[in-house]
Amino acid sequence: MAFNKRVKIKAVLDQNLIGQEITLMGWVRTKRSNKNVSFIALNDGSIITNYQVVADPNLISEEILKKCSTGACLKVSGIVVESQGAGQSSELHAKSIEILGEADPEKFPLQPKKHSLEFLRDIAHLRMRTNTFGAVFRVRHALAFAVHKYFNDRGFFYIHTPIITASDAEGAGEMFRVTTLDLKNLPKDEAGGIDFKQDFFEKETNLTVSGQLEGELAAMALGEIYTFGPTFRAENSNTTRHLAEFWMIEPEMAFYDAEDNQNLAEDFLKYVINYALENCAEDLQFLDQRAADEEKAKPAEQRAELGLIEKLKFVVENDFVRLTYTEAIDILRNSNHNKKKKFQYLIDSWGADLQSEHERYLVEKHFKKPVILTDYPKEIKAFYMRQNEDGKTVAAMDILFPGIGEIVGGSQREERLDRLTQRMQEMHIPEEELWWYLDTRRFGANPHAGFGLGFERMVLFVTGMGNIRDVIAFPRTPGNAEF
Amino acid sequence: MAFNKRVKIKAVLDQNLIGQEITLMGWVRTKRSNKNVSFIALNDGSIITNYQVVADPNLISEEILKKCSTGACLKVSGIVVESQGAGQSSELHAKSIEILGEADPEKFPLQPKKHSLEFLRDIAHLRMRTNTFGAVFRVRHALAFAVHKYFNDRGFFYIHTPIITASDAEGAGEMFRVTTLDLKNLPKDEAGGIDFKQDFFEKETNLTVSGQLEGELAAMALGEIYTFGPTFRAENSNTTRHLAEFWMIEPEMAFYDAEDNQNLAEDFLKYVINYALENCAEDLQFLDQRAADEEKAKPAEQRAELGLIEKLKFVVENDFVRLTYTEAIDILRNSNHNKKKKFQYLIDSWGADLQSEHERYLVEKHFKKPVILTDYPKEIKAFYMRQNEDGKTVAAMDILFPGIGEIVGGSQREERLDRLTQRMQEMHIPEEELWWYLDTRRFGANPHAGFGLGFERMVLFVTGMGNIRDVIAFPRTPGNAEF
């Protein structure tokens, strides 16, 4: 059922409506006219393709045609006719055009020319009307739907974990404070400190950095669950890979060990990417061409070996490489890159945290495939990861993607109460704050695992965009909370 | 593909596995034993139904059987055998039982007896292991998936609107401040005020109360969009209907008028409820019985006329009543309820805001159907609602549900720049803060509409639960941000 009287351009292109009278509504992308006819390229957001409206000046007044400028919103009624020219198979011969909303050519910022991504970021409220951002946000939608469909089809339950939390125990990064206290007149407690008992939640609260710990609670009841919600990091990182507000997907599964977890993550990533390939053909073709044009501007030796769609297919069709941190360190230490001191941080011993340059070397130079790195030193990983029998490593996994680096981080979780509390003590994490988390190890514990996927990194990978600010509608970064 | 070696109980019940050797993993709900045999009711969260494990003390040691107490987590391997008794068609004859995690009967709080909802709220980390909350959260998942599926199938795009915003122009309610400033040492500006230039976003920021305004920006490019994300109200409301953190669904559609909007909302609500009826049969049967038991405890005149499932079917199968605010005021003013002064707030004149008691009277007493109320006085509605030609009302709609009251609020949006800015001036809303919103009326404007659905109110309606704190995993309310 359609709820309004227009036909979407996607539907016109998908069906054979030749000879039918229809009404289109959309925005003018371009118009070219001669004495005898005007051709208007109309876009309604349903698909990247513009639909050609043919307007005869004997039927449509000059005054109306003049207002059909780039950005104007039109209601066009007419007959679908087989196209004369190349390109589309049909076009609309207008019987009437109504101007729903004008767009003064002197003022409308999106004229039919190439605009820089930086410029478009400043007008993020309008940029979705461009080919590039229309494609990005349709693909983003498809990826989000694929996430829900994948888990739903497999009996996982979607859990909304809290956004505001009083727990700051995880230590995953700097946090944003949430408060209703009057900053100009902060209440004091008896000791002269701030009296958070008077705050909305009667204690200090922050924006969540991860839903994992609460997700585990749900998995310990429902079996397999996932979260998909916003998370926050108050880090002053002005990079092309960091946002202060981003969306995370965090599945947690009872009865999964580390290998089950790896199998799920690989299958999940391939499914979601393949869903985009199958459902976003037009948008990905456009983005593939766009990425190819970007590559041409680079020096030959920096160009990607695979085009965007080739790269996505390659990931879907090939097994990910799986190796341990220890094996990776050996490869890196013995690499010519290390010997020739091309790494900024040279690898000389076991235990070093891997930098982005090392991850990219493994993925892009050495294996030329996505990599699942496992069994990291416990010192560089979180307290909740399951301790391996060697006493040195934990059952962690990071999945590394070409051009992106870490796209997934996860682990088997430590289900043994004594090991978990011992590690918390070593890392100075207060047990009383996580009493509820520890309860799941006291009552009906079981081996379980999970991982987190930064959704915007996935969108970045699939769209081939270069800056994470260009794959979320209204990015939040240091100094920027516009719109 | 299953990623671990167990079979889910839902799969065992759905398929005929008689004679096969399988492994189940799950939590003990109850155990009853005699000298010759133990019966263990196992639940793994995949379905509300417990599966019967039959343990022969000749095969399973007494020590193991003793540990199979309520709440313990087991791995059971055995043969699926046709059941002797009534009830389920099959049961598992255990060859081996491994205790994955014990649950000390002296300490585990969820013993097999009726616990109060208040008690379970205090142990929200464990309550999902009960029948009631398992059912609620499986239904919640199904409803969330139905929302995504409905919109995806109809070509709507999911947009993630920002959680942190600098805009406080909408005035939908009190907001939570978001800051990284050190409260103990707040930076001052030259005038002696707080220097928000030093805050993370270099200005004052809050948690969003609605994604609508940003959603409209996306609809003005992509046509039909929806949001589904957390929203926040810092209101000190300790009721069964309010949360400080809740999830909202907000579709926004270019080219929709008020009637299109009503048609969509009614169709959407029916689809989502019907999806639960079709996909959550076991859980809804349990919740239907639970609601019936609750009703029995009430005085006869307060009991609901319809059972839970009957009520859901009634909503799906009947047209909603549509009437204007003005018509509703007439009905209320002339009602016996009003004449006999049974309303706390008597209706004596046009223009009064409707209270919950009036909404419930219309829905539960007068029409006995869901009601779409339209065309409210502009004074009691938001600035962005489209002004009707009468100069007094706006093209608003509220959808009222039995037992819930307002479940949806929406409107056709004011697309005419002059009318919009005039209304903003009347309501003292600063234009410069909403320059981007006004731009969509400057460039390519069109008639458009949208609505908001509080997701937890939908879950409340479908599950028949009485308190909104019982339909979100970890509720946030004044003084409560535990877990």
Q: What is the pLDDT of residue B233?
A: 95
Residues of B in contact with A101 (CB under 8 A): 415, 441, 443-446
Nearest C-alpha of chain B: how many angstroms from A29?
A: 11
Are A207 and B232 an interchain contact pair (Cβ–Cβ within 8 Å)? no
Q: Do A45 and B174 touch (CB under 8 A)?
A: no
Tell me if A126 and B45 make a contact (CB, 8 A cut-off): no
Which of A70, A77, A98, A141 is the best mutation test for B, with the most CBs of B within 10 A? A141
Sheet architecture: strand order including B448-454: B157-158, B224-232, B245-254, B448-454, B405-413, B393-401, B371-377, B321-324
- Do residue A157 and residue B137 have CB atoms under 8 angstroms apart? yes
Q: What angle do CA A408, A412, A417 make, to 5 degrees?
A: 140
The answer to whether residues B220 and A475 touch, using CB atoms and an 8 Å cutoff, is: no
A interface test, pick of B202, B255, B480, B482 with most A CB neighbours within 10 Å:
B255
- The tokens describing A165, both together, are 């939390």
B134 contacts in chain A (CB < 8 Å): 221-222
Share of residues in chain B with pLDDT > 90 (%): 91
Q: How far apart are CA B28 and CA B50, in angstroms?
A: 9
Average pLDDT of B273-296?
97
| Residue of chain B whose Cα is closest to the Cα of A3 | B260
**Tens of pLDDT, residues A18-30:** 999 999 999 999 9
A45, A166, A229 member nearest B221 (Cβ): A45
Q: What integer pLDDT is reported at residue B33 of this predicted model?
A: 95
Return d(Cα B46, Cα A158) in angstroms, integer: 13
Amino acid present at A24: L
Minimum CA–CA partner of B180 in chain A:
A176
Average pLDDT in the A259-269 region? Answer: 98
Question: What's the Cα-to-Cα distance from A69 to each of A103, A134, B114, rounded to whole Å?
Answer: 7, 20, 69
Taking CB atoms and an 8 Å limit, are A442 and B104 in contact across chains? yes
Q: What is the pLDDT of residue B305?
A: 84
Q: Could you tell me what percent of chain A has a pLDDT over 90?
A: 92
Q: What is the pLDDT of residues B342-369, one digit of tens each?
A: 999 999 899 999 999 999 999 999 999 9
Report the pLDDT averaged over residues B265-283.
Answer: 98
Average pLDDT of the residues of chain A: 95
Q: What angle do CA B289, B293, B297 make, to 5 degrees?
A: 165
pLDDT category of residue A3 using cuts at 50, 70 and 90: confident
Q: For the residues of A211-256, what is the DSSP string, one character each?
A: SHHHHHHHHHHHSEEEEEEEEE------SSS--SEEEEEEEEEET-
Q: Among the listed ranges A48-57, A396-405, B80-89, B449-458, which one has the minimum average pLDDT value?
A: B80-89
Residue range A279-285: average pLDDT? 98
Chain A residues near residue B104 by CB distance under 8 angstroms: 442-443
Residue A86 has pLDDT above 90, yes or no: no
Question: Which residue(s) pair with A272 in the sheet?
Answer: none
Residue of A73, A153, A225 for testing the chain B interface, max B β-carbons within 10 Å: A73
Q: How confident is the model at residue B403 (pLDDT cuts 50, 70, 90)?
A: confident
Residue B163 banded pLDDT, cuts 50, 70, 90: very high
Give the closest-approach CA distance of A309 to chain B in angstroms: 22
Best A1, A4, A205, A217 residue to mutate vs chain B (most B CBs within 10 Å): A4
Beta-bridge partner residues of B51: B42
Question: Where does the pLDDT of residue B408 fall: very low under 50, low under 70, confident under 90, or very high at 90 and above?
Answer: very high
Integer distance in angstroms from the first to the last C-alpha of chain B? Answer: 33
Contact A45 B222 (CB under 8 A): yes
E runs forming strands in A255-353:
321-324
Residue A169 has pLDDT above 70, yes or no: no
pLDDT band at A92 (very low <50, low <70, confident <90, very high): very high
Nearest residue of chain B to residue A166 (CA atoms): B481
What is the ipTM for the molecules in this complex?
0.97
CB-defined contacts A:B, below 8 A: 342
pLDDT (tens digit per residue) in B363-399: 999 999 999 999 999 999 999 999 999 999 999 999 9
Mean of the pLDDT values across residues B303-313? 93
Average confidence (pLDDT) over B52-71: 97
Nearest chain A residue to B111, by CA: A443
Smallest CA–CA distance, residue B329 to chain A, in Å, is 29
In the 8-state DSSP scheme, what is residue B8?
A: -
Element (DSSP H or E) covering residue A103: none
Name the band, by pLDDT with cuts 50, 70 and 90, for residue A171.
low
- Mean per-residue pLDDT, A451-459: 98
Inter-residue contact B100 to B74 (CB < 8 Å): yes
Burial class (CB in 10 A: 0-12, 13-18, 19+), B356: middle
Answer yes or no: is pLDDT of A87 > 90. no
In angstroms, the separation between the Cα of residue A12 and the nearest Cα of chain B is 13
Nearest to B44 among A4, A223, A267 (CB): A223
Are the beta carbons of B222 and A480 separated by less than 8 Å? no
CB contact under 8 A, B446 and A25: yes
Pairwise CA distance, residues A7 & A23, whole Å: 6
Which residues in chain B touch residue A174, judged by CB atoms under 8 angstroms apart? 180
- Mean pLDDT, chain B, whole residue set: 95
Contact B162 A437 (CB under 8 A): no
Lowest mean pLDDT among B100-114, B197-211, B298-312: B298-312
Task: Report DSSP state, residue A80.
Answer: E
pLDDT at B300: 87
Chain A closest-CA separation from residue B297 CA (Å): 29
B225-240 residue pLDDT tens: 999 999 999 999 899 9
pLDDT above 60: residue A1: no
Q: Kindly indicate the confidence band of residue A403, based on its pLDDT and cuts at 50, 70 and 90.
A: confident
Work out the minimum CA distance from B476 to partner chain A, whole angstroms: 8
Query: What residues of chain A lie within 8 A of the CB of B183, using their CB?
Result: 177, 179, 181, 183, 186, 194
CA dist., res. A268 & res. A277, Å (int): 14
Q: What is the pTM of this model?
A: 0.97
Pick left, alpha or beta for residue A403 (phi over 0 → left; psi -120 to 50 → alpha; otherwise beta): left
pLDDT at B3 (0 to 100): 80
Mutate to test the interface with B, among A189, A269, A474, A477 (most CBs of B within 10 A): A474
Q: Per-residue confidence at A304, pLDDT binned at 50, 70, 90?
A: confident
